[in-house]
Amino acid sequence: METTTELSLSVLVTREEYCEAAAEYRRTAGKQQSAMLYIVGAVLVLLGIAGAFFGQFISLSFSAAFSLIVLGVFLVCYDGVFAPLFSSAAAAREYDENEDLRYATTYRFSADSVEVKNGRMEGTLPMSALSSWKETGNLFLLTFGRECQFAIPKRLLDPGQVETLRAWLPRR
């Protein structure tokens, strides 16, 4: 079996590709709180219904009960309806604000560094300087500090190269 010592890629990520992957990552990261939103929303809807029918007994006006119902329905629907819209908008804004994502870039990965060359920067970044990295179904998102963010599409890599790149990235 061959071992790869270097991985070279030439990348230009499209806005749609980046937005889809970043929104997917945001949604999967937010799944942990979605169960709590369902529970809180359901409780608020039940309290609102109880207030609408029995408000005089529990000192709750009809308008307050209606507000609880609306808020509860919003929280129940948030994960399926509103969160994808907010995630897509945030990903599009992030792509538009980050110049590094819009340049055609050549990357040369090795076990301890990545050599980057594009219209804005040229140099070698040590893997120890990697602030964070995320993996989605379609992309590797690498962040070096606050200014440098790179997206590596998996469509450019074969499965062995994906595993090699994953092994070179520092553990989370």
Question: In a structure prediction context, what are the per-residue pLDDT tens digits for the chain, which is 172 residues long?
Answer: 445 678 888 888 888 888 888 777 777 766 666 778 888 899 999 989 988 888 778 778 888 889 999 999 998 888 778 888 888 888 888 888 877 777 788 989 988 888 989 888 888 988 888 888 888 888 888 888 877 778 888 888 888 888 888 888 886 5
Is-contact 124 115, C-beta < 8 A?
Answer: yes
pTM confidence score: 0.61
The predicted structure's pLDDT at residue 67: 92
The predicted structure's pLDDT at residue 1: 42
Which residues are registered as beta bridge partners of 109?
A: 7, 114
Q: Hey, what are 105's tokens?
A: 């870039």
Euclidean distance between the first and the last CA atom of the chain, given in angstroms as a whole number: 27
Q: Hey, what are 43's tokens?
A: 């409780």
pLDDT in tens, 12-45: 888 888 888 877 777 776 666 677 888 889 999 9
Q: Distance (Å, rounded) from C-alpha 101 to C-alpha 72? A: 39
Can you give the residue ranges of every domain in the chain?
Answer: 7-12+102-168, 15-97
The predicted structure's pLDDT at residue 30: 63
Alpha helices in 59-138 (DSSP H): 62-77, 83-97
Q: Hey, what are 52's tokens?
A: 């609408």
Q: Distance (Å, rounded) from C-alpha 148 to C-alpha 133? A: 12
* Nearest Cα residue to 127 out of 100, 154, 107, 105: 107
Is-contact 52 69, C-beta < 8 A?
Answer: yes
